Amino acid sequence: MESSGGAPPAEERRLLAASLTARYSDWVLEELDELPGSFLLTDPAMSGHPIVYASRGLASLTGYRPRDVLGRNARLFQGAATDRAAVAGVRDAVRCQRAHQVAILNYRRDGAPHWVLLHVAPVFHAHDGRVLHFLAVQVPIAAAPRRRAAPCRRPPVFAACREEARVEEELPCASHAGEAFVDIDKRGLETTRWLEAGEPRVASGCDKEKALSTANSIFSALNRYSKLTGLVVCGKRCDSAGIPALSSSLNLSLGRIKQSFVLTDRHLPDMPVVYASDAFLSLTGYSREEILGCNCRFLNGPGTSLEVLEEINRNICCEQACTVHLLNYRKDGLAFPDLLHVSPIRNASGKVGLHPFQVAFHVWVHLDESIKHDFNGLSPEVWQLGAVGAVRVAVRSLSASGSLLRPSQ
Amino acid sequence: MEVKLTIKRVPTVLSNYQEEGGGAGCGRNCLGDCCLPASKLPLYAFKASNQNKFAQEDGLPTDFFLNSLLLGQWEDRMAQGLFRYDVTACETKVIPGELGFVAQLNEGRHLKKRPTEFRVDRVLQPFHSAKFNFTKVGQEEVLFRFENGGGDSSYFLANVPNTESSHPPSVVAINVSPIEYGHVLLIPRVLDRLPQRIDPESFLLALHMAAEAASPYFRLGYNSLGAFATINHLHFQAYYLSVPFPVEKAPTKKIPLAKCELKSGVKVSKLMNFPVRGLVFERGNTLKDLGDVVTNACIWLQDNNVPFNVLISDSGQKIFIFPQCYAEKQALGEVSQDLLDTQVNPAVWEISGHIVLKRRADFEEASEASAWRLLAEVSLSEERFEEVKACIFQGTGLTESDEEDETNEESPYASSSSAPVASSHIPEGCLVLQ
């Protein structure tokens, strides 16, 4: 058992560092150190699923310095009043290797509770689908306007110093807590305080944006410095269970559009792909199953410009269209110069499950500029815009008649 | 004694140049004699014959005209900020009911300015150069020229000098106050400065455009003066909405014609169970055959001062003519105030069932009943309609026959459904409406 507050011993430190440097070049640490925000990288292949990297921003948010947490499991941030269901959700996502976002009550080093939006996502080895790391981003959630409601009180709990304090079944809520063992960090913090968790907080759209944006920056950094030759470290293989089922009418209309494009849904965690055209699959070499439910970053690679990705993100946040040139990568690792146009697509009615009158999707139209195309006299840009127009018409008309999504079963 | 009937209404702005006085002023890239012949525009030359419905190997892909050219160019103009508002941000819904009227809330469509006076008792009025017309439109509002290529397949050229053409240029321009995505104006022979009146050549051009788009959801429309046309310069409108229009779903009753008229192959029906009475013209051996029959009917109407609207649907295979009298009623003070307060000008799109509402309350409360009530005011009475119909037939040489049409399988007195899905070519998607 390690001493409280101390850094892990030298041998262990070496192993933790190797977790990163085996896959990425040394520059990756410098790059990650430059990123703002509080986040961690963990290695599920190592015993205890330890933290192998912690950002500089961690201290200001949590009071822990990076060396305080290296080698330890991330549950060290949780405490007595942390909602068990939230923890179970994170654990489940980790087990299923998918991205997950949840508002959760964490604890600072001094024991003070605070609410954060936790964004967890796997980092896959593009080639064999192995999970290399998990990233966990923490964004503080500000208090909502005060509403005095009965606080959620939990009885005192005793620390259980258990390596795998895994409670497999969903724990009942606070009213039955008492027999609960809580995942407490290995420091053996024995808390007997009555903790007022207060009203559960809800993350705002802005918080989610921040979390997403930080996650994207981390991915980009890992991509840039990936040592895996010609391959992409990507957040691939997300399952498509959470994405909305598009109606057959919409699929039919979209199926007629000849350009290479995908639709993404910004309102779902990690902005997954919800539709991909056949031309897109031919262009990139992926199958539909591989990419539905995933964020577009699977296309990015070491040569993809970070600035351009940030420009795209900015425009997405402002709901504006943009056209960019960037380097993207096919499944086989081959890079291609991509003329990419991204545009927000609105739906027309408030009756569908999507957010009313807001942006329903984003359309991403790709064009491989290294190949000669015949646009029958149109400029490449106008030809791409034709796809945007066709998607707009399809989404607009079908959402007006309530036929955008498959009716829920 | 001739009574001059006028109504006051706020005109729709079709072009960004519409409000600038009437000055010809150039140095701009306009569509007048000063600029157009000296400039270049993209040209879409459609195939002369419509017999060969399959795309040739080296020809343009079938969706090129609509999806790539028209929508792509339209989206490009959106990006340039040429439209007065973003139509995709306008709430639209299909109203539950048998016919499925489409209601749109658009608070920005109408100008917030004083209404102008429109003469409503003269369907034919001479062209006035001083007033706004489409030669004053800037070329950035033009998407492409649309003319007959004379050959067996259509072709597209990105940049053609306007002097080099065997045809006087006809253009497709954006409507800067769109009702829907892709709303454009077709202006036949723009330099000829034709007033708003139907002629065979121009109508055929419109039919060809519907045929090139090859989509039952891309319709063209025409409003005569007195039936809410805003500009007295010959133009058709067109846009793309992927839902069936109520008028397309209404049943029709075929009007049997004497055998000799069947050479053209045109089938004429009366629209049934729809608030506005109208005639439906379908089929025809060629596009020109169909166009000629319809044109003759329109010419009779305009020569006899009956305001009317025309809807070209089903890729040019089906044409509706609606004689109307709303403006006249309005001028005579016969329309109820609450209908006037909605400020809906029932032109071809409204009559077809796509209604743009200006006030949120009207939009929230829109129902099939309220739409029906509005449109019922637009229609000619049964008696008057039958009169007009008889005159049209007489004036165009069609003869209604008492005999059963031997070549027709259906009973002439049976209603036949006419939704786009029933047409001969593959429908675009199978919409299942709740």
Tracing tokens 């509005």 back to the chain, one arrives at B374
Strands B354-357, B102-105: parallel, antiparallel or unpaired by DSSP?
Answer: parallel
Task: From residue A47, give the alpha-carbon distance in Å to each of A66, A260, A280.
Answer: 19, 43, 40
Band (pLDDT 50/70/90 cuts) for residue B407 is very low
Does A409 have pLDDT greater than 70?
A: no
ipTM at complex level? 0.77
Task: Tell me the average pLDDT across B409-415.
Answer: 32
User: For B60, which of A249, A376, A381 is closest by C-beta distance?
Assistant: A376
Does A224 have pLDDT greater than 80?
A: no
**Superfamily of the domain at B36-48+60-396:** ATP adenylyltransferase (3.30.428.70)
Structure tokens of A199? 């009203």
Band (pLDDT 50/70/90 cuts) for residue A61 is very high
Does B364 have pLDDT greater than 60?
A: yes
Per-residue pLDDT, B200: 96
Band (pLDDT 50/70/90 cuts) for residue B259 is low
- Which of A355, A378, A398 to mutate: most B Cβ within 10 Å? A378
In chain B, which residues have their Cβ closer than 8 Å to the Cβ of A249? Answer: 429-432
Task: Tell me the average pLDDT across B209-229.
Answer: 93
Does A146 have pLDDT greater than 80?
A: no
Long-range Cβ contacts of A308-315 (<8 Å, 24+ apart): A309/A216, A309/A220, A312/A340, A312/A342, A313/A213, A313/A216, A315/A342
Does A20 have pLDDT greater than 80?
A: yes
Q: If 0-12 CB within 10 Å is exposed, 13-18 middle and 19+ buried, where does residue B339 land?
A: middle
Task: Tell me the average pLDDT across A124-137.
Answer: 74
Across the interface, whether the CB atoms of B72 and A382 are under 8 A apart is answered yes
Across the interface, whether the CB atoms of A377 and B157 are under 8 A apart is answered yes
Across the interface, whether the CB atoms of B91 and A357 are under 8 A apart is answered yes
Ranked by mean pLDDT, the top range of B28-42, B62-76, B108-122, B201-215 is: B201-215
CA distance A236 to chain B (A): 32
A354 C-beta neighbours (distance < 10 Å), count: 21
Q: What is the rounded end-to-end Cα distance, in angstroms, of chain A?
A: 51
Band (pLDDT 50/70/90 cuts) for residue B13 is confident
Q: For A404, name the nearest residue in chain B, comparing CA atoms only.
A: B431
pLDDT in tens, B384-401: 999 999 998 887 777 887
More confident residue, B412 or B343: B343
Which phi-psi region, left, alpha or beta, contains residue B113 (left: φ > 0; alpha: ψ -120 to 50)?
beta
Per-residue pLDDT, B257: 82
Per-residue pLDDT, A149: 42
Across the interface, whether the CB atoms of B241 and A357 are under 8 A apart is answered no
The least confident of A133-147, A196-210, B61-75 is A196-210
The least confident of A119-123, B275-279, B402-406 is B402-406
Length of chain A: 409
User: For B68, which of A383, A401, A402 is closest by C-beta distance?
Assistant: A383
Does A95 have pLDDT greater than 90?
A: no
Does B425 have pLDDT greater than 80?
A: no
Across the interface, whether the CB atoms of B72 and A383 are under 8 A apart is answered yes
Averaged pLDDT of chain A: 76
Structure tokens of B251? 């049943």
Cα-Cα-Cα-Cα dihedral sign, residues B68, B73, B79, B82: negative
Pairs of residues, one from chain A and one from chain B, whose beta carbons lie less than 8 Å apart: 124
CA distance A365 to A343: 9
Contact assessment for residue B170 and residue B189, using Cβ atoms and an 8 Å cutoff: yes
User: For B182, which of A253, A345, A389 is closest by C-beta distance?
Assistant: A389
| Residues 149-208 in B contacting A (C-alpha not used; CB under 8 Å) | 156-158, 180-182
Cα angle A279, A284, A286; round to 5: 95
CA distance B117 to chain A (A): 34
- Which of A357, A378, A391, A393 to mutate: most B Cβ within 10 Å? A393
Band (pLDDT 50/70/90 cuts) for residue A145 is low
In chain A, which residues have their Cβ closer than 8 Å to the Cβ of B60? Answer: 376
CA distance B364 to chain A (A): 12
Per-residue pLDDT, B109: 66
- Which of A358, A367, A397 to mutate: most B Cβ within 10 Å? A397
Per-residue pLDDT, B149: 87
In chain A, which residues have their Cβ closer than 8 Å to the Cβ of B243? Answer: 397, 400-401
The least confident of A8-22, B149-163, B336-350 is A8-22
- Which residues touch A11 (CB under 8 Å, ≥6 apart)? none
More confident residue, B2 or A363: A363
Per-residue pLDDT, B20: 60
Task: Tell me the average pLDDT across A183-200.
Answer: 46
Per-residue pLDDT, B93: 87
The least confident of A95-109, A135-149, A381-395 is A135-149
Per-residue pLDDT, A262: 95
Task: Tell me the average pLDDT across B67-72.
Answer: 90
Per-residue pLDDT, B193: 93
The least confident of A49-63, B5-19, B46-60, B342-356 is B46-60
Interchain contact B63–A (C-beta under 8 A): yes
Interchain contact B326–A (C-beta under 8 A): no
In chain B, which residues have their Cβ closer than 8 Å to the Cβ of A321? Answer: 79
Count each helix (H run) and each strand (E run) in chain A, helices first.
11, 13
Per-residue pLDDT, B369: 94
Across the interface, whether the CB atoms of B158 and A321 are under 8 A apart is answered no
Does A159 have pLDDT greater than 70?
A: no
| Residues 398-417 in B contacting A (C-alpha not used; CB under 8 Å) | none
Strands B40-46, B142-148: parallel, antiparallel or unpaired by DSSP?
Answer: parallel
Across the interface, whether the CB atoms of A377 and B72 are under 8 A apart is answered no
The catalytic residues of B are 235
Band (pLDDT 50/70/90 cuts) for residue A242 is low
3-state secondary structure chain B: CCCCCEEEECCCCCCCCCCCCCCCCCCCCCCCCCCHHHCEEEEEEECCCCCCCCCCCCCCCCCHHHHHHHHHHHHHHHHCCCCCCCHHHCCEEECCCCCCCEEEECCCCCCCCCCEEEECCCCCCCCCCCCCCHHHCCHHHEEEEEEECCCCCCEEEEEEECCCCCCCCCEEEECCCCCCCCCEEEECCHHHCCCCCCCHHHHHHHHHHHHHHCCCCEEEEEECCCCCCCCCCCCEEEEECCCCCHHHHCCEEECCECHHHHHHCEEEEEECCCCCCCEEEEECCCHHHHHHHHHHHHHHHHHCCCCEEEEEEHHHCEEEEEEECHHHHHHCCCCCHHHHHCCCCCCHHHHHCEEEECCHHHHHCCCHHHHHHHHHCCECCHHHHHHHHHHHHHHHCCCECCCCCCCCCCCCCCEECCCHHHCCCCCCCCCCCC
Buried b (16+ CB within 10 A) or exposed e, B282-302: bebeebbebbbbbbbbbbbbb
Band (pLDDT 50/70/90 cuts) for residue A155 is very low
Report the percent of chain A where pLDDT is more than 70. Answer: 73
Across the interface, whether the CB atoms of A396 and B60 are under 8 A apart is answered no
Local structure of A6: helix, strand or coil: coil
Averaged pLDDT of chain B: 84
CA distance B268 to B412: 11
Interchain contact B432–A (C-beta under 8 A): yes
User: What residue ranges do the domains of chain B occupy?
Assistant: 36-48+60-396
User: For A385, which of B76, B91, B243 is closest by C-beta distance?
Assistant: B76
pLDDT in tens, B288-329: 999 999 999 999 999 999 999 999 999 999 999 999 988 888
User: For B181, which of A253, A350, A389 is closest by C-beta distance?
Assistant: A389
The least confident of A172-186, A219-233, B267-281 is A172-186
CA distance B197 to B224: 7
Cα angle B208, B210, B211; round to 5: 60
